[in-house]
Amino acid sequence: QVQVVESGGGLVQPGGSLRLSCAASGRKFSHDSMNWGWYRQAPGKQRELVASMTSGGSTNYADSAKGRFTISRDIAENTVYLQMTNLNAEDTAVYYCHLRVVVTTIEGSNDMNYWGKGTLVTVSS
């Protein structure tokens, strides 16, 4: 069984910074099969992708996150981070970590998806 656990959420003032962490534990996967994503869901809104990182290290950001958020990973620790700067009220949401593992064997490809339970980020003065 795989567990994905986020941490680092909390209350921060507008203009402040926060770093979220997401650690995967349980079954071991090769880092080159692990694709990460940070999503968020604000009250009354749909869940949206904020940032992602492929197994090869390529990153992608939502327009709202570009220039302010940075996704990174620690391969040895099976951990991904989301560094958030210049936060504003619109960034208030529950942030979820998503891990997609694609394992290709001689029998075919196995695509597994894991979600954390989320961590709340509140931006308020």
Which residue in this structure is represented by tokens 């990182």? Answer: 53
- DSSP characters for 7-19? E--EEE-TT--EE
Extract the tokens encoding 109. Answer: 């490809």
> How many residues comprise the chain?
125
Model confidence at 24, in pLDDT bands (50, 70, 90)?
A: very high
Residues 6+ apart with CB under 8 A from 63: none
- Nearest alpha-carbon partner for 10 in 2, 1, 21: 21
State pLDDT tens for residues 31-88.
888 999 999 999 999 999 999 999 999 999 999 999 999 999 999 999 999 999 999 9
Model confidence at 101, in pLDDT bands (50, 70, 90)?
A: very high
State pLDDT tens for residues 102-118.
988 888 888 999 999 99
Give the separation between CA 36 and CA 81, rounded to whole angstroms: 10
Q: In the prediction, which pLDDT does 103 show?
A: 87
